[in-house]
């Protein structure tokens, strides 16, 4: 038995690799090295745009027959289960036989299977000379529904970026208090609530703040958005996620951008800044220390870049 060891696998577009690496580092304290990794930390894949599956390792053996032997020795009695094979690398020689392998495993579980709506999914896989069996958790992708929120602007962040940002800010620790002090229509807030973080929003334009509340209520979240200027926030937070206004989308003055960064530092220990232009000079002018930096382009053509700084 290997208690509390998990195998995770990732799926991400090439142009979001750096963002995925920053999320993995923030959630697991690991450097990205391929699309499969082991960790003792239990993270729900659905909080991330990139975590595809998590296998909780019950058995690790050097042969498939050893897995079968263990299943025969330690009977699992359960209804409504399903067994799936996880293909973790492209030329996995066993992937072609996945149906037979799953059947072999399924026969050793005592109970009625359910192929359409299983309550428990077991996973079996071969990876780097070993066989693994355990309970499988999959990214439910239910967060995709947020793409059709009632209010969205062309300047709104993409859903992958919004999800990664809350994890970069919160490190998967739901006891942390987060704030998006320039929340626009609440794209980041929706992902924060979905993951289970304690998060609130502020937005200077009252109409936009109201639209953020409508978006939040639409998906049964508390409408925790205050209409006001970041400089009026009195509370303090573990981390802030700040999408800096810029350009034609959300025109603003340089003075306001300085004020946003200065106040984000005042109200939070950690500041995750997003911007569509390189504002390193502004960040450094406020004596913030940049711990991490990455860029992410919007789409495969890489036409529209967003910069992300993790600061203290
Ligand atoms: C880049 S947009 C945020 C977009 C948001 N992340 C989204 O996806 O919908 C920046 C927002 O900051 C707001 N804002 C600008 N100055 C502000 C200030 N001083 N305090 C609070 N909000 C401010 C703007 O009205 C704008 O909605």
Environment class of 89 (CB within 10 Å of its CB; exposed 0-12, middle 13-18, buried 19+): middle
pLDDT of residue 101: 98
The finding on whether 256 has its CB within 6 A of some atom of ligand 1 is: yes
- How far apart are the C-alpha atoms of 200 and 307, rounded to whole Å? 23
Angle at 298 between CA 296 and CA 302, to 5 degrees: 80
**Is the Cβ–Cβ distance between 180 and 188 less than 8 Å?**
yes
Task: Locate 108 and state its tokens.
Answer: 């050793």
Sheet holding 198-203, edge to edge: 225-227, 198-203, 177-180, 237-243, 268-275, 305-311, 290-297
- Answer whether 270's CB lies under 8 Å from 239's CB: yes
| Nearest CA, atom 19, ligand 1 | 229
**Residue 189 DSSP SS3:** helix
Q: For residue 173, what are its two tokens?
A: 């620790």
Q: How many residues can be counted in the chain?
A: 312
Distance (Å, whole) CA 21 – CA 28? 10
Q: Hey, where are the domains in the chain? A: 6-138, 143-311
Distance 185 CA to ligand 1 centre (A): 9
pLDDT of 50 reads 98
Q: What is the pLDDT of residue 4?
A: 63
C-alpha span between 235 and 23 (Å, rounded): 26
Residue 310 in contact with ligand 1 by CB distance below 6 A: no
Contact partners, residue 93, CB within 8 Å, separation at least 6? 126
Token pair of 77, please?
């009695």
Which protein residue's CA is at the shortest distance from atom 8 of ligand 1? 156
* Structural contact between residues 229 and 222, judged by C-beta atoms closer than 8 angstroms: no
- The alpha helices in the chain, defined as continuous H runs, are 17-28, 64-73, 98-107, 159-170, 187-195, 206-218, 254-267, 280-285
Separation of 246 CA from ligand 1 center, angstroms? 9
Query: What residues are paired with 59 via a beta bridge?
Result: 133
Tracing tokens 């053509």 back to the chain, one arrives at: 301
Which pLDDT score is estimated for 13?
93
Ligand 1 centroid to Cα of residue 98, in Å, is: 49
Sign of CA dihedral 274, 277, 279, 280: positive
**143-311 homologous superfamily:** Vaccinia Virus protein VP39 (3.40.50.150)
Nearest CA to ligand 1 atom 10: 245
pLDDT of residue 252: 85
pLDDT recorded at residue 249: 65
Give 10-residue mean pLDDT values along the chain (312 residues). Answer: 79 95 98 96 98 98 98 96 97 96 97 96 97 98 97 91 98 98 98 98 97 98 98 98 83 92 98 95 96 87 85 96
- Whose C-alpha lies nearest to ligand 1, atom 12? 182
Classify domain 6-138 at the CATH topology level: VC0802-like (3.30.2130)
């Amino acid at each position: 038995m290997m208690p509390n060891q998990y195998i995770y696998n990732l799926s991400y577009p090439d142009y979001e690799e750096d963002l995925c690496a920053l999320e993995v580092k923030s959630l697991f304290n690991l450097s990205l090295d391929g699309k499969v990794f082991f960790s003792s930390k239990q993270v729900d894949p659905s909080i991330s745009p990139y975590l595809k599956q998590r296998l909780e390792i019950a058995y690790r053996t050097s042969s498939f027959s050893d897995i079968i032997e263990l299943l025969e020795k330690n009977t699992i009695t359960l209804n409504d289960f399903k067994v799936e094979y996880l293909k973790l690398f492209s030329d996995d020689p066993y992937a072609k036989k996945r149906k037979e392998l799953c059947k072999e495993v399924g026969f050793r579980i005592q109970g009625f299977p359910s192929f359409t709506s299983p309550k428990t999914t077991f996973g079996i896989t071969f990876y780097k000379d070993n066989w693994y069996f355990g309970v499988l958790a999959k990214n439910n992708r239910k967060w995709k529904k947020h793409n059709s929120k009632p209010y969205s602007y062309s300047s709104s962040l993409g859903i992958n970026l919004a999800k990664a940002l809350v994890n970069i800010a919160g490190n998967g620790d739901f006891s942390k208090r987060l704030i998006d002090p320039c929340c626009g229509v609440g794209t980041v807030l929706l992902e924060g609530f979905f993951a289970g973080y304690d998060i609130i929003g502020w937005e200077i334009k009252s109409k936009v703040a109201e639209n953020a509340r409508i978006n939040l209520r639409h998906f049964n979240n508390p409408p925790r958005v205050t209409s006001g200027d970041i400089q009026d926030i009195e509370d303090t937070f573990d981390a802030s996620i700040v999408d800096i206004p810029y350009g034609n989308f959300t025109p603003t003055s340089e003075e306001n951008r300085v004020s946003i960064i200065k106040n984000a530092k005042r109200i939070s220990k950690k500041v995750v800044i997003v911007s569509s232009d390189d504002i390193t000079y502004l960040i450094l002018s406020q004596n913030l220390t940049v711990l991490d930096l990455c860029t992410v382009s919007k789409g495969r053509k890489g036409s529209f870049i967003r910069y992300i700084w993790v600061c203290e």
